[in-house]
Structure 1
Amino acid sequence: MEKVRTLLLLVLVLFTTLVAYVGAYEEEENEQRTQGEKWFLLRHLHNVVKTDAGSMRMVKGGYRWGSYLHSPMHIGFISMEPNSLFIPQYLDSDLVLFVHHGEARVGHIYRDELAERHLKQGDVYTIPAGSAFYLENGAEEQRLHIICSIDITSESMGWNAFQSYFIGGGVHPASILAGFDHNTLSTALNVSTSELKTLLTRQSSGPIVHLSSSHDHSNIWSKFLAQETHQKLAHLKRIVNFGEESSPKEEQSTWSLRKILFTLLNREDAVKRVNHEAPSTYNLYNRNPDFQNDYGWSKKLDESDYSPLRISGNGVYLVNLSSGSMMAPHVNPRAIEYGVVLKGTGRVQIVYPNGTLAMNARVREGDVFWVPRYFPFCQIASNNGSFEFFGFTTSARRNRPQFLVGQNSLMQSLRGPEFAAAFGIDQKRLETIANAQREQVILPSSSSDSPLRMDIGFY
């Protein structure tokens, strides 16, 4: 009897130890997955600009806390009310713009002249670092939504920040001109100090302002644009000394303000000269799919298709997966990838180099994720509708993803005795497994996924 009790006690101890071990393993695995979501799912939106006329929000890149991983890009979301202006500025980072909804007019300096382009839904456009630009939503009833990539360069002021330099401005935001001594600046502009004070103190509505007189009759931009052409031109000459010759050094120090204001005042004459030379837009929605089958399609844009991407060094892509389908597990050996969910719900799975699951996250419209270079990953659409996501890559060269599964995969290319030996199976068994999937790139899936209910979004 005593032996039976001892045996039962030993079994109980072993069972308790086993349960504790399994529980600790599952807890550690869940902790790793949670940590993976913190690293690869970018849900913390930061307000960069917020006014009555619009906002700019972004998820930050940079070094991930407690990790060797570095995300070299911010993803920004610009939202502008009808008839509004994102006032003239330049950044210390390259921008790639993608118009998600609405239409816009963008003006920026190109070869020391101001070029202007009309952007519509689906358009991609680039603005180099240091190039002064403005954005205008001239629609009367339609909001504008833009997704943009913001590179983190070594010249940026900190790994986790980018800096706007506002050319136009006043009390809020302050113009970069306001930092100069007023006597020095009034001499440089050839205006009185009282005129200079008016120029630098009238604007107080923030970086995104209403242009409609129904909002703010004292808005300097609204009054400025409401003047007659000859009045605006006279005002321009008085403010920026446009009619006088300037030395190359003076020209270099005032080009941004001068070119932008002159185009706002006398847009037709100023823009004609450079619009035929400046880069055009590229509409991603109008592009034919680079790959398409019964389960979805994908489009990708690189410098060979749109040369301005060479400036920023970024690529662009758009993927649509039908209900239940998946983008086959693959690796990008050339670039880091960023994705923004535009429509639907699904899952994103990312794998660490050691073969453990880094993240298996449910995502919905508005979520942003990123995948480090070389990390295996896949995207899976839920069963309740199509799943569409747009994104950027950190290489403008042609990306050649290495698919791990499917008819065009490494499993097909490497199927030989060496690869079979790596799995510890014979070659015939390997060929049977490799040939079981007859599709490629976008695959059918029978896995279920429940509808998602999250209050996460970018606008």
Structure 2
Amino acid sequence: MAIKTKLSIFIFLFFLINIAICREETDPELKTCKHQCHQQRQYDEHDKRICMKECDEYHEMKQEREKHKEDKDDEKEVENPYVFEYKDFDTILDTEDGRISVLNMFDQKSKLLRNVENYGLAVLEAKANAFVSPHHFDSEVIFFNMKGRGIIGLVEQDNTERFNLEAGDIIRVPAGTPIYLVNRDENEKLFIAALHMPSSPGSAPLNFEAFFGPAGRNPESVLTAFSSKVLQAAFKTSKGKLESVLEEQKKERIFKIRKEDVHGMAPKKSIWPFGGQFNGPFNIFSNKPSFSNQFGSLFEIGPSESKSGLEGLNVMLSFANITKGSMSTIYYNTNANKIAFVVDGEGYFEMACPHYMSSKHRKSSSAYHKMNARLRPGMVFVVPAGHPFVTIASKNNNLKIVCFEVNAQRNKKLAFAGKKNIVLALDKTAKELAFGLAAEKVDEMFKRDEEFFFSYNVDESKEDRGHADV
């Protein structure tokens, strides 16, 4: 018995020594620390053991700090693959009277956004009575007037058509069409969101650098790229006259104009019954909401909508107004990829993602990760098709979101909660097998009268206040 006990102690000590050796081999700092403990001549054996114990404790603290730092880095990485803030926008034009900012190539931020890699989002902000000089893009563009009152001029070969823009107006601008914009309000700013897309399959990548045409040298016109001889021949004019015209414009690309000039550009009512070359704006609020109750409303315009200008684009536009203290249902799009811009209010966003896994969660049994973010005006978030998500308005303000949904044809919104949800739609046998409960018990939880928008009324004491309390 004594021999067995001694053998057990020997084996135990053997393993301890090997563990210590392995730790020292993997961390040179720990090895050096213990070596110095042994070299201290003034230490007796008791002091040396204390010294070595302190080396071990320091080593453990160091490992904990490094692990905590990795966890923090992982959390930072998790927060934003699908979310864009103001710092993620590039300002391509900034003047005293307005600016244009863009989000170009979504997949540059994350490979998870490859579904929308061929699309770009731009935002125009123009002060009262500001004029945006004529320009064109090499991409197809859908403008959505988020706030303010504007005028848009679209130039064809032999004339210009002008349209008033109100909040909620949508207008499609074909690639290469020269346009100008005016803020016709004397007090309020004009805010326009623009979705850029390739003009045709296989066309060149998006280019957000607008081609400014009839301006002079400040701002620079595309004409300045050509030699003087070419311009003289093209316009059949002298070099002196050419330079006097091109150098006359001394203002920026967005600048304030006189009130009489604003009124002079107001659209004229056409007596021609067939209209002009371009489809005029279509207001999203002229349709009845797809869903509406006391907790919110959702307006939608799809590619099948007549006179919307979206025919053939495979794009849907939607505008959600979630009442303060309310939420949307948890739902997903079957086909459409959502690019959402927060127009007004504050709130919160959550989404389930099976594709993104941080190093902290790679060994987790869960296959899904919660992507979340606080929402503020000017922020953008992307929801790929098939990803369930929810948006929640703060207790203080309504949350207003405009969404460009690409690949929208044959798309359906499938909800997990509300009057019509996919759980209630399951047949009884499948429901009982999936939940391991009687179908009646499952229906008891999932059945409710409201559809799509609900009150966000929760017991705050049970919530994760760091995220869900909005």
Structure 1 length normalisation: TM-score? Answer: 0.73
How far did residue 81 of structure 1 move?
2.2
Mapped to 2, the partners of 1:364 and 1:267 lie a distance apart of: 35
Matches within 5 A, 1:375-414: 375-395=387-407, 397=409, 399-414=411-426
Give CA deviations for 1:227-281 in whole Å, capped at 9, x if unaligned. Answer: xxxxxxxxxxxxxxxxxxxxxxxxxxxxxxxxxxxx98x9969997985453121
- Select 1:184's aligned residue among 230, 236, 247: 230
Mapped to 1, the partners of 2:316 and 2:167 lie a distance apart of: 18
Mapped to 1, the partners of 2:384 and 2:144 lie a distance apart of: 22
Give CA deviations for 1:20-65 in whole Å, capped at 9, x if unaligned. Answer: 99x969975x655533432211112211111122111123343144
Distance 1:423 1:32, change over 3 A: farther
The one-letter code matched in structure 1 to 2:347 is G
CA-based RMSD of the aligned residues comes to 3.8
How far did residue 396 of structure 1 move?
5.2
Distance 1:185 1:155, change over 3 A: farther
The residue number in structure 2 matching 1:132 is: 178
Q: Are residue 279 (structure 1) and residue 279 (structure 2) matched? A: yes
The one-letter code matched in structure 1 to 2:171 is Y
Mapped to 1, the partners of 2:420 and 2:98 lie a distance apart of: 46
The residue number in structure 1 matching 2:92 is: 48
How far did residue 331 of structure 1 move?
1.0
Distance 1:315 1:271, change over 3 A: farther
Paired residues of 1:309 and 1:396 also in contact (CA < 8 A): no
SS state at 2:245 partner? helix
The one-letter code matched in structure 1 to 2:280 is S
The one-letter code matched in structure 1 to 2:333 is N
Greater Cα offset, 57-66 or 378-387: 57-66
Mapped to 1, the partners of 2:235 and 2:157 lie a distance apart of: 23
Distance 1:100 1:271, change over 3 A: farther
Corresponding pairs, count: 389
Mapped to 2, the partners of 1:267 and 1:191 lie a distance apart of: 33
How far did residue 308 of structure 1 move?
0.8
Mapped to 2, the partners of 1:295 and 1:38 lie a distance apart of: 28
The residue number in structure 1 matching 2:294 is: 294
Matches within 5 A, 1:145-294: 145-151=191-197, 158=205, 161-212=207-258, 275-294=275-294
The one-letter code matched in structure 2 to 1:446 is N
Distance 1:443 1:273, change over 3 A: closer
Distance 1:26 1:353, change over 3 A: farther
Distance 1:65 1:390, change over 3 A: closer
SS state at 1:309 partner? coil
Matches within 5 A, 1:411-450: 411-435=423-447, 437-447=448-458
Q: Are residue 356 (structure 1) and residue 351 (structure 2) matched? A: no
How far did residue 171 of structure 1 move?
2.0
**Consecutive unaligned residues in structure 2, runs of 5 or more:** 1-7, 17-59, 356-366
Mapped to 1, the partners of 2:397 and 2:186 lie a distance apart of: 33
Distance 1:54 1:384, change over 3 A: closer
Q: Choose 1 or 2 for highest CA Rg.
A: 2
The one-letter code matched in structure 2 to 1:280 is G
Mapped to 2, the partners of 1:32 and 1:274 lie a distance apart of: 59
Mapped to 2, the partners of 1:433 and 1:310 lie a distance apart of: 41
How far did residue 352 of structure 1 move?
0.9
Paired residues of 2:92 and 2:209 also in contact (CA < 8 A): no
Mapped to 2, the partners of 1:32 and 1:180 lie a distance apart of: 51
Mapped to 2, the partners of 1:273 and 1:198 lie a distance apart of: 42
The residue number in structure 2 matching 1:455 is: none
Paired residues of 1:304 and 1:398 also in contact (CA < 8 A): no
Mapped to 1, the partners of 2:399 and 2:188 lie a distance apart of: 25
Mapped to 1, the partners of 2:333 and 2:452 lie a distance apart of: 13
The residue number in structure 1 matching 2:80 is: 38
Distance 1:66 1:148, change over 3 A: closer
Distance 1:96 1:157, change over 3 A: same
SS state at 1:39 partner? coil
Give CA deviations for 1:114-168 in whole Å, capped at 9, x if unaligned. Answer: 2211112222111111111111224444432222222256767646x42311112
The residue number in structure 2 matching 1:57 is: 101
Distance 1:50 1:321, change over 3 A: same
Mapped to 1, the partners of 2:419 and 2:334 lie a distance apart of: 19
Mapped to 1, the partners of 2:400 and 2:184 lie a distance apart of: 28
Give CA deviations for 1:391-410 in whole Å, capped at 9, x if unaligned. Answer: 21114546421112223111
Distance 1:358 1:66, change over 3 A: same
Distance 1:129 1:396, change over 3 A: farther
Mapped to 2, the partners of 1:101 and 1:213 lie a distance apart of: 20
How far did residue 327 of structure 1 move?
1.0
Paired residues of 2:82 and 2:113 also in contact (CA < 8 A): no
The one-letter code matched in structure 2 to 1:175 is S
**Consecutive unaligned residues in structure 1, runs of 5 or more:** 10-16, 215-221, 227-262, 453-459
Mapped to 1, the partners of 2:273 and 2:440 lie a distance apart of: 68
SS state at 1:63 partner? helix
Paired residues of 2:102 and 2:208 also in contact (CA < 8 A): no
